[in-house]
Amino acid sequence: MINTQYILPILILFIVFCALCKRINAYTSFIEGVKEGLGLFYNLFPALLAMMCAISLLRESGLLAMFSNWIVNRISFIPSAVVPMILFRPISGSASLAVLIDIFKACGVDSIEGIMASVIQGSTDTTFYVITLYFSTVGIKKIKNSLAIGLLADLAGISMAILLTLIFFG
């Protein structure tokens, strides 16, 4: 059994060994990768900052709480603490993770809200983020069908997460 503290050093040594065997300058390749990563960060940071700002404005203005109450009044089997998770999950992974942590703190990890939010987090994707990030990176302009299909998949994932959580844990 290998001690876990040695995994990263062994991985780095393995990469250096492979680079030596293939006669590749590992340091130069590493520097080129860092340059590409910084370029990608430079292109994506404004969109990410705008998204995080918009989410903060929704939360701090009280509009999010008002919308959550409106949803819960119409669909009573959805816990009100989970509604922000349902709203933010297709938009931002970090925002939905922050909501998940808030749910854990307020309701508990083993509560129906905590379990339902966890299942939603694991069964859906950040559709708007994926389309914004990956499609803009490769230059795709027509996103209409991709957006509709992605949101439909999110709706199916969220619906099944709610249903299965209520069946198995409710």
From 112, 113, 80, 84, select the one nearest 97 (Cα to Cα): 84
Calculate the CA 52 to chain-centre distance.
13
State the amino acid at position 63 in one-letter form: L
Q: Domain tally for the chain? A: 2
Task: Give the residues of the chain that fall short of pLDDT 70.
Answer: 1-2, 47-48, 51-52
pLDDT at 165: 95
pLDDT at 1: 60
26 and 19 Cβ atoms separated by less than 8 Å: yes
Same structural domain for residues 37 and 99?
A: no
Residue written as token pair 């203005």:
61
Taking residue 40's Cβ as centre, other Cβ atoms within 10 Å add up to: 12
Q: What is the pTM of this model?
A: 0.67
Same structural domain for residues 43 and 90?
A: no
Domain of 52, in residue numbers: 1-56
Write phi, then psi, for 49 (nearest 5 degrees).
-65, -45
Rounded Cα distance between 38 and 44, Å, is 10
Same structural domain for residues 51 and 67?
A: no
Same structural domain for residues 48 and 90?
A: no
Same structural domain for residues 68 and 152?
A: yes
Within 8 A by CB and 6+ apart from 20, the residues are 26
Rounded Cα distance between 80 and 97, Å, is 17
Question: What length is written for the chain?
Answer: 170
Same structural domain for residues 86 and 4?
A: no
Same structural domain for residues 8 and 90?
A: no
